[in-house]
Amino acid sequence: MEENQTQPTVSMPRIGEAAPEFKAVTTQGEINFPSDYKGSWVILFSHPADFTPVCTSEFMTFASMEKQFNQANCKLVGLSVDGLYSHIAWLRTIKEKIEYKGMKDVEVTFPLIEDITMEVATKYGMMMPGESNTKAVRAVFIIDPKGIIRTIIYYPLSLGRNFDELYRALIALQTADEFEVATPADWQPGDDVIVPTAGSCGTAKERMESKDEMHCYDWFFCTKKLDKESILDKILKK
């Protein structure tokens, strides 16, 4: 007679919740998360293991784009369940030996968390039994300056991330906050943005009849222009 085997419950933080707190050792010293990053946006991301090809390509890309993220008031924090010395050896190998897509001599200066006990990975639901019981999937958490989770993206072990999309999502979130709008599919800075849906019949009628800068496809779907310079002037550090 077979015994019933139950899968362990995986804790999953949700969008709109406070980012789970933790203290950790990293390649840049000890951090208290998210309190050390108050006032900044943060991208907290996990990778399955050091010395693996997909992860190497990702870390080189993130490191090459770090200044771009920093200008948008965003800090990068990586995590894997490998140990600190493995992290250090891997990052040195990347800097000293790896050339990929024109990137070489790449130094990773953002912190990479040691999570041998999988405490942090478990808090953030990064362990997926369907993928591996010992490796964190490619999770991405975008966390706002108040420590609130705003975006969650998960990739399987085999799929490398699109870093242009992560940057686009960061800018879109900040644009939505700053200008009280939403962003449509495939939005890029400079594209039209969506204004909040009309809250009354009168407002809806006015919008449909309006000849101003707003364009309404129907009463519930109206857009307006928001130029790229206005967005980047508000978001990017000078």
Q: Which of 55, 74, 216, 222 is catalytic?
A: 55
59 close to 141: Cβ distance less than 8 angstroms: no
The β-bridge partners of 193 are 224
CB atoms within 10 A of CB 168: 16
* Cα(111)–Cα(225) distance, integer angstroms: 38
Beta strand spans in 109-155 (E)? 112-114, 138-143, 149-155
Task: Give Cα 34 to chain centroid, integer Å.
Answer: 14
| Dist CA 24 CA 124 (whole Å) | 14
The three-state secondary structure class of 85 is: helix
Catalytic (active site) residue 55 = yes
Give how far the C-alpha of residue 59 lies from the chain's centroid of Cα atoms, to the nearest Å: 14
Residues forming a β-bridge with 100? 103
Residue 229's contacts (CB-CB under 8 Å, 6 or more residues apart) are: none
| Residue carrying the six token digits 């309190």 | 35
Catalytic machinery residues: 55
